[in-house]
Structure 1
Amino acid sequence: MLETSGSTRSRPGYEGCTVSTSLGFRHINYLAEAAVLEHFRSAGLAPGMLYDEFGLGLDVVHIDTRLPKNLHVDDLATLFVKPVHTPDDTRMRFDVTSTVSRAGRSVTNARSTLEVLLRVEPGVDARSTVPAGLERFVTERLGTAEPVELTVDPASRPDLGSGRGTTVGRDSRRDPVLNELIGENNAFGWKWRVPYFYCHFGDRMPVSGFLRLLEEVVDLFLADRGLDVKRVLDERHWIPVVTHSRLDLLDEVRMEEDLYTVYTVEEVFKSLLYTSRMDCYVVRDGRLVPTATGRITHGYMTQRSDGTWELVTFDEPTLRALSGENR
């Protein structure tokens, strides 16, 4: 059953309806992940059973999603899951296509590719041996990123009452590790303690936590550049939109570790879209360990007088802010 294509139907989480009635990229990625989890359940390999019976944690370690159409808060999406891994692959790979009904027609609103590993959970006594055919997807650890020597000492952790941690942007260079990571790049940095509710299995941050992190660092970056989401909504009636997102886990991030996140603007395309990269690190034994990398393509839309939506052409202040000229 796991090697057979299937489908499921699902509605997006109401939490994702943050601007107008369209869903943000994070919740569309959540739907793709949920469809893959449902595919495992249909095959008799529910995530809870994998953990309890075989001592395995199911982890998505790669997700790449393109968003050709919007997803509405009341949409009932049909998600088609197709296994695409080969007999030699050591990761399970699935293509997920999400469709919704528009004016009586089925249209594709998202296309995703996900890769999955089964991580041996420390301290869990497996009751049974791993089913035949799954052994090649089992790993003792998610990723083995190569650490890099640090030339500075990490700053002490800020007081837990300080909120969202330490940021390094236009007006602040307060963290030596972030300063070293950013250098002279057009980038923004954020150091933050990973809370338990971003983690799973009492151990590590899953892909959903990194998707939240990607959304949060974008929010902090925009505020640092004077493009606060609420201000842009109120003053220009611009609604942020994402057309593509990608996330890869390179190593594990433990609960309550300090996570260093660097968000770098890479390219502005025809004054309509900009692409950015997120890189995440932890410091272990005096060395910097890459833990995740992601990319996202952003723009803005506005509603015309006839009710239709169109991409916004960035004005000069926005272009200067995105290019880092005001740093």
Structure 2
Amino acid sequence: MPGTATKTLLNESTTVVLTPGYEGANIGTIIGFKHVNYLVEKAVIEHFRRSGLPVGRLYEENGLGFDITYIDSRLQTALVVDDEASIEVKPVTQDGASELSFKVVITVERDGAPKKAVTSKVRAVLRYDENDTRMLRRLPVPAGLEPFVTAAIGGAEPGAAVPALGEPLVSGGSTDSDPVLDQLLAGENAYGWKFRIPYPFVHFFDRLQMSGYLRLMEEAKHRFVDARGISIRKLLAETNWIPAVTHSQVTLLDEALLEEDLYVVYTVDNIFKNLLYTSRLDCYVVRDGKLVQTATGSITHAYGVVENGREGRLVTFDDRVLRAFNNETEPGA
């Protein structure tokens, strides 16, 4: 039978007030999508704490590492650095599920009234640390949490065979010239790079965590537009346009480990009415000569103009931007 803390975790909603990280205010005072998702993650972690199951203690005492495996966030209004965001976490885990599920709503004050800013869906697991060298003792899994404990995240089947690998990169190093990338990008409207996973991107000693993938998703956008001749700095200097995210989603499919080479592919999927475009993020490692996909995600972007730090409006794509998104050359080029 579930213990009292587990019953609370699975059945009772919590609300916490949090402020965004100042690091995330890279659009005037507006918080970027990555740090919006960080707030969602923090609120779920606080939900565990208030339920009597702090995630730190779960690892220290039970050898269970809290991992978000899925996050899907829709941004309805911008968060800014001075916001005191009210964040409700509602448990929605179904009977028989192997992942913990939550709905998260972020509300902020606008013009003296509450306004829904973000809605998110989150799934999480408790990853068992089997390493007896660093976990010298483990208490039993708290009653009722057993279904959500896993020996490994995901379990993707190996995919296509790939060419022989070259020399490994140094930690944190990257390249966009690689035979495996050539195979992944063939025939696609995409940009990709190889990235050696460094220590700052991992947690529980060795695996890439959700926040690391969110950082890669943000970097993928920057690398893509730079490679297509419309870098973020260039459009800011020439038109004061800045990318704006309305929706992001990431799913972990397998574990990617410290100092593995990660292949990151950013593919343009659709363009809507010259106002929004969706892209897909896919990440792979190579094991035993075959691709293993570790994560997939999607992101919806617009372009906006921000004035006075927080006053934003969307703009329609011009021909130059559309050509870049479609990988078309300029007329006469």
State the TM-score bracket (shorter-chain normalisation).
over 0.9
Pick one of 127, 139, 142 that aligns with 1:119.
127
Alpha-carbon distance, 1:149 to partner: 3.2
Match of 1:201 in 2: 204
DSSP 3-state at the match of 1:132: coil
DSSP 3-state at the match of 2:59: helix
DSSP 3-state at the match of 1:214: helix
- Give yes or no for contact 1:16–1:23 (8 Å, CA) kept in 2: yes
Pick one of 5, 9, 19 that aligns with 1:2.
9
- Give yes or no for contact 1:52–1:126 (8 Å, CA) kept in 2: no
Pick one of 33, 42, 46 that aligns with 1:38.
46
Match of 2:286 in 1: 283
Pick one of 87, 93, 96 that aligns with 1:79.
87
Aligned CA-pair RMSD? 1.6
CA distance in 2, matches of 1:279, 1:255: 18
Pair 1:110-2:118 in alignment? yes
| Mean Cα deviation higher: 120-129 or 85-94 | 120-129
Pick one of 242, 245, 253 that aligns with 1:250.
253
DSSP 3-state at the match of 1:149: coil
Identity of aligned residues (%): 48
Match of 1:13 in 2: 21
- Give yes or no for contact 2:162–2:291 (8 Å, CA) kept in 1: no
Code of the residue aligned with 2:194 in structure 1: it is K
- Give yes or no for contact 2:64–2:128 (8 Å, CA) kept in 1: yes
Pick one of 86, 96, 100 that aligns with 2:104.
96
Pick one of 33, 50, 53 that aligns with 1:25.
33
CA distance in 2, matches of 1:37, 1:284: 32
Alpha-carbon distance, 1:303 to partner: 4.7
Pick one of 150, 157, 163 that aligns with 2:161.
150
Pick one of 301, 307, 314 that aligns with 1:298.
301
Alpha-carbon distance, 1:222 to partner: 1.1
- Give yes or no for contact 2:72–2:249 (8 Å, CA) kept in 1: yes
Match of 1:170 in 2: none
Alpha-carbon distance, 1:126 to partner: 4.0
Pick one of 150, 158, 174 that aligns with 1:165.
174
CA distance in 2, matches of 1:14, 1:29: 14
The structure-2 alpha-carbon separation of the partners of 1:164 and 1:238, relative to structure 1 and needing over 3 Å to count, comes to farther
CA distance in 1, matches of 2:169, 2:212: 21
Match of 1:171 in 2: none
DSSP 3-state at the match of 1:145: coil
| CA offsets 1:55-86 (integer angstroms, 9 cap, x no match) | 10000000000001000111010000000011
- Give yes or no for contact 1:55–1:125 (8 Å, CA) kept in 2: no
Alpha-carbon distance, 1:302 to partner: 1.6
- Give yes or no for contact 1:147–1:288 (8 Å, CA) kept in 2: yes
CA distance in 2, matches of 1:52, 1:243: 37
Code of the residue aligned with 2:80 in structure 1: it is H
| CA offsets 1:256-309 (integer angstroms, 9 cap, x no match) | 11000010000111000110000000001111100000100001112589x953
CA distance in 2, matches of 1:88, 1:57: 21
- Give yes or no for contact 2:67–2:210 (8 Å, CA) kept in 1: yes
Match of 1:182 in 2: 185
Structure 1 unmatched runs, 5+: 168-173
CA distance in 2, matches of 1:273, 1:94: 28
Match of 2:5 in 1: none
CA distance in 2, matches of 1:308, 1:214: 25
CA distance in 2, matches of 1:66, 1:227: 26
Code of the residue aligned with 1:318 in structure 2: it is V
- Give yes or no for contact 1:35–1:81 (8 Å, CA) kept in 2: yes
Code of the residue aligned with 1:121 in structure 2: it is D
Pair 1:263-2:266 in alignment? yes
The TM-score with structure 1 as length reference comes to 0.94
CA distance in 2, matches of 1:28, 1:298: 15
Pick one of 116, 141, 147 that aligns with 1:136.
147
Structure 2 unmatched runs, 5+: 1-7
The TM-score with structure 2 as length reference comes to 0.92
| CA offsets 1:137-180 (integer angstroms, 9 cap, x no match) | 000000000111314222322456xx75111xxxxxx3110000
| Mean Cα deviation higher: 135-144 or 150-159 | 150-159
Code of the residue aligned with 2:9 in structure 1: it is L
CA distance in 2, matches of 1:240, 1:199: 27
| CA offsets 1:10-36 (integer angstroms, 9 cap, x no match) | 000000011211000000000000000
DSSP 3-state at the match of 2:207: coil
